[in-house]
Each structure stands twice: as structure tokens, then as C-alpha cells.
Amino acid sequence: MLDIVYKWIDERINLKGLQNKMLNEPIPGGARYAYVFGSALLFIFAMQIVTGILMMFYYAPTVDHAWQSIRYIMEDVDYGWLIRGIHHWGSSAMVVLLVVHATQVFLWGAYKKPREMVWIVGLLLAQVVIGLGFTGYLLPWDQKAYWGSVVGIEVAGVVPVIGDFLARFLKGGTSAGVLTLNRFFVIHVMILPLSLMGLAGLHLFLFRKAGPAGPYKGEPAELERKKEFFFPKQVYKDSVFMLMVFAALVGLSYVWPPELMSKANPAASAFDPEPEWYFLAIFQLLRLPIFAGQWGEFVGAIVVPGLFFGLLFSLPFLDTRKERHPLKRPIATGGLVVFFVSMLVLMGIAVSTREALFHHDEKLSALGMEIYYTKGNCAACHVIAGLDEEIRGAPGGAIGPALTDEADVDKRQVGGFLEWQIMHLKDPAKLSPGSIMPPAAAVGLTENEMIALVHFLGDHTKGLPGKGMEAFKKKLETASAAGAKP
């Protein structure tokens, strides 16, 4: 039956010829596992399309339902965790394989003539993939998504002259909200995937025109003798690797399903500005003092990555030697090593400072609690529902925002929490424009007291255990009695 259909089509459009052209691509030196990465990227992209479409069956790209609909997918819909898990881990896997693929092409010198155009289109593809990661990050509309993306958009804002326009364009106005989600959604599900398809098609077309580069060493006559067609052995090797990638995605989704933090709250004074891991290096770069200030940020966030990509784009024109052996190209290979080492160092610092910044510390929290209700007199303006009554016998003031939920802000990546809170204590109006909260210095808080205060804010739902609380209240009473005396 299938044969008849095949014949029928073949008679009309020469299916056989088309098939031969696609499958009988000669690979110098024969099929290898070293060549599987490009196909694997295409495979993950296909998986992303499938899982992405499936998620759109339930996802609602509006600020009042995006988060709820993701929670619905994760908690209610059968296998929703699997679909979202594959999509979530797939995006990371794509970045990883992209780096591997590009590194291999770089090391093997496969970007050299006549494959310059393949390389350039490949770099464009890399940028589309990064853009997909960035825009997709916002869509669940949880705290992490919201604050991560806001920071990202602000980075676009530091570009001189057009920065403000760019940031407004991405946000759909002056602040991140309703239209921002719409814009990110349409960029993520329409514009970038279509660009990716077009560019990937071009990438493949150019690649087939120029032919595979083959191994970087070996006698041409020998490689010619050992050549094999793409089909079937390379196809087989590609599929073996695809199966491994697939199993890894499913396994990761099962063991670590993607999380969904509390719903985005633009008013929450605590946020966690950590981006996806593949932006961590640049995130850390921006923390370096030389990249502080508006110009510094521009240099760190735009110029440095821009120069890096510029260098990659011009690589085939800078390096025109025929030599492809990585050991005989010390500058290129050395540069690659330097690049990886610095990326890893930056990421390492970002991760380790994140962990060092905040950890539960009962003593510190207790001290912070004392400062909150005495020296800082924070309760005059803020409410912590429940705790206020227990400690002062009355709810706190309503001048400032309630801090009741402050402790619910995700603590897993609290580097941002501590940093932001301290920054905010020092100069509230800078981070929350219009705030009338007095800066910490005006209240006479030291750096250590501020740290204790933030630990309390991040911890307070736990309160103090029974006995500690009694002792604490007594201490407060004597303190206020002493304060009342003069």
C-alpha cells in the first residue's frame, strides 16, 4: 500500500531523486559520533515546537492568568509536568549542545573556506536560541520570571541613544506588565521560532552546498576511500544520540520538574534578579566594579558580548590559513580555553556568592527582629500580620506596604533578596521611586544591623520558638519602659 503511494508520488515529482539527494550526502572518512550535535539540535528544536504547541493548549498569555494556567499545567493536567519539563530542560539542552556544536566547529577549523557562510548563519542561529531562552523565561509570570526579565530589559535600556526606545519597545510602554507579557509571548512563539526555522533551513542548505568538512587530519585520498553516505550509518548514530538526549530530558523532568514560584508581584520589594544559568556569566560581569554605572553597564552588557560575537563573526576572515588541526592553531585553541575558563570562573563566582549571601541564621534573625521592633521602629509604618499582635499587642502602621509575605519570597536563590533589601534599606527612593521611607543611615542602622534586619524579613514567618519569644517580649518591654523614662 505504502509502496503504491510512494510510486504514485515518485512518478510525479521524482521522489527517489529527492531522497537520494537528501540521504546520499558523502561524509569524508565515514560516519562518526562526532557529527551528531547538529542533528541533535534540530531534534531538540522539534521537541520544543511540539511541547510548546502542547503548552499553548492551556497557557494564557495574560498577566492575570499566565501563572494560574502554568500551575494548572503543572498540577492538574495529566503529564503536564512532562510536557513543560521537556520544554524547560530542552531550552537548557539546546544552549549546551549549541556550545558543544560551535566549539567543535571552532576546534576542527570547519568555519574556514568554503564554509564561512555556514558559520555565520550558525552564529545568527545561536542568537535566536538565546533570544528564545530570554523571552521564554518571562512567560510563567512568577517572581523569578518577572524580576529576571525586568533586569534583562533594563540592560537593553542602557544602550546609548536607542536604549530607552528599545526598553520601551520590549515592555510595550514604560513599565513591565500586561503588554510586556504579550510582546514576549509573540516573540517567543512566533517571531523567533519562524526565524529559527528559516535560518536553520539556510544553515543546512549552505552546509550541503559546501559539504561536510570531515576530520581535520588524514590523507584526502584515504578519507575519500573511507567515505560513507549520510544515510544510513550517520542517521543511525544521530538517532542513538537523540535517544540519549530524549532520555535525559525526560529523566530531568521527572527528577527536577521545572518549578513555579509565587506569582509575579511587581509591588513586592523583595526580588530575585537571577537569570537563566547561561546568562550567569554576564550577570556576574555586571557586578564587577569596572562595569558599574550607566556606561559601565553598557560596556559590560552590550559592548563586551557585542565584541565577542563580532569576533566570532569575523573569525573566518581573520583566520584564513588552511590549517585545521587544533594543535597547529595555538592562538585559536588558546583563545577558546581562555574563553571557557573565564566563563566558568564568572559562573562559579555568581553561584558561590549567591549561596554565601543568605542562609538561615536564627541568631541573626532574632537580632533583626529586635531591630525591627525597637531601633528601626519599622512597625510604625509596616504590618507583619500575626506577629505584630503577638509582640506589640497591636498591628503595625499602614503607611508602608505590608511585609507579611516578605518571607514567602523564594529563598532558594536569595542572593538577590539580601542584596536588593540592603540596597533598598540604604536608599529606598532609588529602588522604589516615590518611597518616603527614611534611608537606613537616617535611622542610624549599621551595615550589620541591616543584614540582621533582612535575615529577619526573610525568616519571620517562623517566628521565635516559644521560650525565645517570651524572653524577647520581656526584653522589649524593658526597652520601651527605659525609652519612656526620659
Partner 1 sequence: MDIQLKSRVKCIDRPVGEVSRLILSQTTREITDMVVRLDANGREIVVPVDGNTSVRPGPEVVLLYPVDRLEGMPGFRRGDWEEVEVAEFAPHLHVHQGEVLAKFPEAERDLSRRRFFFWASNAIGALITLPLVWPVFKYLIFPLYKGFDNAWVRLGKADRLPAADSPVLLEFTRTPKEAYMVNTVKKTAWAVKASPDLLKDVYKGDPERVFKEADGQPIWENKGVEYIVYSGKCPHLGCAYRWDETDKRFICPCHLSIFKLNGELVSGPAPRRLDTLPVRLADGQVEIIDAEYKAGEHGKKRIV
Binding site for partner 1 (CB under 8 A): 21, 26, 28-30, 54, 57-58, 60, 65, 68-69, 71-72, 76-80, 82-83, 209, 211, 214, 220-221, 223-229, 231-233, 235-236, 239-240, 242-243, 246, 250
Instruction: Tell me the backbone φ, ψ of residue 142, rounded to 5 degrees.
Output: -100, 180
CB count within 10 Å of CB 485 equals 6
Smaller CB distance to partner 1: residue 44 or 457?
A: 44
| Shortest Cβ 70–partner 1 spacing (Å) | 9
CB-based contact 59:73 (threshold 8 Å): yes
Cα–Cα distance measured from residue 484 to residue 473, given in angstroms and rounded to the nearest whole number: 16
Nearest to 359 by CA among 309, 414, 286: 414
| Residue listed under C-alpha cell 509591588 | 267
Whose Cβ is closer to partner 1: residue 20's or residue 461's? 20
Nearer to partner 1, 209 or 412 (CB): 209
Strand (E) or helix (H) holding 468: helix 466-484
Burial of 455 (0-12, 13-18, 19+ CB in 10 A): buried
Rounded to whole angstroms, how far apart are CA atoms 485 and 163? 57
- What is the DSSP-derived secondary structure letter of residue 26? E
Question: Rounded to the nearest whole angstrom, what is the least distance from the CB of residue 380 to partner 1 in the complex?
Answer: 38
Which H or E run includes 229? strand 228-229
* Least distance to partner 1, CB of residue 26, Å: 4
By C-beta, is 220 or 438 nearer to partner 1?
220
Instruction: Report the candidate in 430, 443, 33, 96 with the shortest Cα–Cα distance to residue 233.
Output: 33
CB of 243 to partner 1, least distance (A): 5
- Toward partner 1, which CB reaches closer, 79 or 308? 79
Nearer to partner 1, 246 or 420 (CB): 246
Nearer to partner 1, 30 or 401 (CB): 30
C-alpha cell read off for 356: 554565601
Nearest to 261 by CA among 147, 101, 427, 340: 147
Taking the complex as a whole, how short is the minimal distance between the CB of residue 147 and partner 1, in angstroms?
23
Beta bridge partners of 142: 263
Please state whether the peptide bond connecting residue 114 to the residue before it is cis, i.e. omega within 30 degrees of 0.
yes
CA distance linking residue 62 with residue 9, whole number of Å: 46
Residue 68 vs 461, nearer CB to partner 1:
68
Nearest distance, CB of residue 75 and partner 1, angstroms: 10
Count of alpha carbons within 13 angstroms of residue 140, beta-carbon side: 24
Closest CB to partner 1 among residues 213, 409: 213
What are the residues facing 136 on neighbouring strands? none
Identify the burial level of 241 via C-beta atoms within 10 angstroms of its C-beta, where 0-12 means exposed, 13-18 middle and 19 or more buried: middle
The nearest distance, CB 383 to partner 1, in angstroms, is 28
- In single-letter form, the type of residue at position 61 comes to P
Find the shortest distance in angstroms from Cβ 76 to partner 1: 7
Q: Alpha-carbon distance 368 to 370, whole Å?
A: 5
Least Cβ distance, residue 439 to partner 1 (angstroms): 42
Nearest to 301 by CA among 312, 311, 290: 290
Cβ at position 128, least distance to partner 1 in Å: 24
What is the residue whose three cell numbers read 557586578? 287
Q: Is the peptide bond before 232 cis (omega within 30 degrees of 0)?
A: yes
Q: How far is the CB of 117 from partner 1 (least distance, A)?
A: 15
Distance CA(230)–CA(387), nearest Å, equals 69
Please list the residues that pair with 229 across neighbouring strands.
Answer: 26
